[in-house]
Structure 1
Amino acid sequence: MDIHVWLAYLVTAVVFSLAPGSGTVNSISNGLSYGTRKSLAAIAGLQIGLSIHIILVGAGIGALVAQSALAFSIIKWVGAAYLVWLGIQKWRDRGSLSTASTDDSLSGLTLMKNAVLINLTNPKSIVFLVALFPQFIDPTQNQVTQLLVLGVTTVVIDAMVMLGYTSLASQMGRFIRSEKVMSKINKVFGSMFVGCGALLATAKA
């Protein structure tokens, strides 16, 4: 892959990762509630979900999902329902930041699993990758190598962006100790999760 093609994709990947979405909401919410260190598990989960999408695209299944109304609809509605459920749980959470940050009831593994499902059940991500990857792949060169380069670039960039969101939110969290304030913040992010679910429900292949 030519360096100028990779640089062009690098810029595109940054824009793709910076665009607000359910993964962004999850990263900011976790950063506020659990801090950067514990939220690393969730960031890893988001990348696992993204990596599975990349593998599916590379295997050609992504194109099938993009063209199959039934497959797209199933993933869409599962993802929408899951995000709405997360939003309701977040809305009902009234704990203060100090309580949330020391609460062992929600383990790093649970945060990771939640994050995997958030990215895995977002069909718009896989459709986007199906449309994006061919623009940067040279059919005369080894496609596996090119897909590997694009995939690794996508995951690394997204992980860095999500870490940035989480770290920023964690720093903000140091100034938020009131249970009343945290309750309001949880309602905001709960509403955002529900909003992401609603947008996902209206998505079309």
Structure 2
Amino acid sequence: MDAYLLFLIITVATVMSPGPGVLLTLTNAIRFGVSGAIGGILGLAVGAFLIAGVSATGLGILLATSAVAFTVLKFIGAAYLIYLGVKLWRAPPAVIELRAAGRRTLPRQFAEGLGLQLTNPKAVFFFLSILPQFVTYDSAHVGQFALLVCTYSVVLVVVHLIYAALARTTRQWLASDSGGRLVNRLGGGTFMCFGLGLAATSR
């Protein structure tokens, strides 16, 4: 496979860039600790894996060529982001207390990360435009494609775990009432901005 290292560098840069997924991981890590962010991280990784697979099918081509399909998925994603933002904005500061009882279940965290990733139409176009450039189609391209997709998912997990660990160091201060309220307001407001921004985007 040509330029695998270059693909790896591009993937790391893409995953590290600020976005709803990174914000979700940071927020979960601050509110529930590193272990409380793992479910969401796995959901994001599985969502990326599924989107990559869909991008290689007719649905991926449809989203790339149909303005209606793109618009529908775009607004579903925007609505989900705004929902997460409003929910976080209204959450009481007490949810980031250090006690484990306040932690949400792993399946719920996983579903939140998965839903966030699957309702992001931009991810589809990332895989449609980036992956094909690193696949040699005159050989066994299915294995190459699988390697690239798995690489992306693994990089996402590693990078987000690093983000979660860094966020964990600030959790003591953010466990205070003022700190918890600040996280809720900033996190919720940012999610809503992402949602409004996604709704306003075009192809």
For normalisation by structure 1, the TM-score amounts to: 0.93
Q: For residues 23-79 of structure 1, give each alpha carbon's deviation from its aligned partner in whole angstroms, at most 9, with x where no partner exists.
A: 011001001000001211111111111111011123343222111111111111011
- Give the Å deviation of 1:95: 2.2
Q: Secondary structure at the match of 2:169?
A: helix
Aligned residues: percent identity? 29
Question: Counterparts of 2:82 and 2:202 in 1: how far apart (Å)?
Answer: 18
CA distance in 2, matches of 1:145, 1:166: 31
Residue 115 in 1 paired to residue 113 in 2? Answer: yes
Q: 1:56 — aligned with what?
A: 54
Segment of structure 1 superposing worse, 55-64 or 137-146: 55-64
Task: State the shift of 1:92 in Å.
Answer: 0.8
SS in 1 for 2:173: coil
1:126 aligned partner: 124
Is the aligned partner of 1:159 residue 2:157? yes
Tell me if structure 2 keeps the 8 A contact 1:33–1:101.
Answer: no
Residues 166-181 of structure 1 mapped to structure 2, 5 A cutoff: 166-181=164-179
| 1:174 CA displacement | 2.5
Secondary structure class of the residue paired with 1:91: helix
Question: Using the alignment, how far apart are the partners of 1:79 and 1:13 within structure 2?
Answer: 22
Shift of 1:167: 1.4
Counterpart of 1:126, as a letter, is: V
Structure 1 stretches of 4+ moved >3 Å = none
Preserved contact between residue 26 and residue 164 of structure 2 (Cα < 8 Å): yes
- Aligned counterparts, 1:143-158, within 5 A: 143-158=141-156
Q: C-alpha distance in 2, partners of 1:12/1:29? A: 25
Alignment of 1:92-107 (within 5 A): 92-96=90-94, 97-98=96-97, 101-104=100-103, 106-107=104-105
TM-score, normalised relative to structure 2:
0.94
Measured in 2, the distance between the counterparts of 1:125 and 1:173 equals: 30
Relative to structure 1, is the Cα distance of residues 153 and 60 closer, same or farther in structure 2, using a 3 angstrom cutoff? Answer: farther
Q: Determine if contact 2:32/2:98 at 8 Å carries over to the other structure.
A: no
Query: How far 1:164 moved relative to its partner?
Result: 1.2
Aligned partner of residue 175 in structure 1, secondary structure: helix
Structure 1 residues 21-100: aligned runs within 5 Å: 21-96=19-94, 97-98=96-97
Q: Secondary structure of the residue that 1:129 maps to in structure 2?
A: helix
Deviates more, 1:15-24 or 1:165-174: 165-174
Q: Which amino acid aligns with 1:130?
A: L
Amino acid at match of 1:23: G
Mapped to 2, the partners of 1:123 and 1:172 lie a distance apart of: 32
- Give the one of 17, 21, 30 matched to 1:19: 17
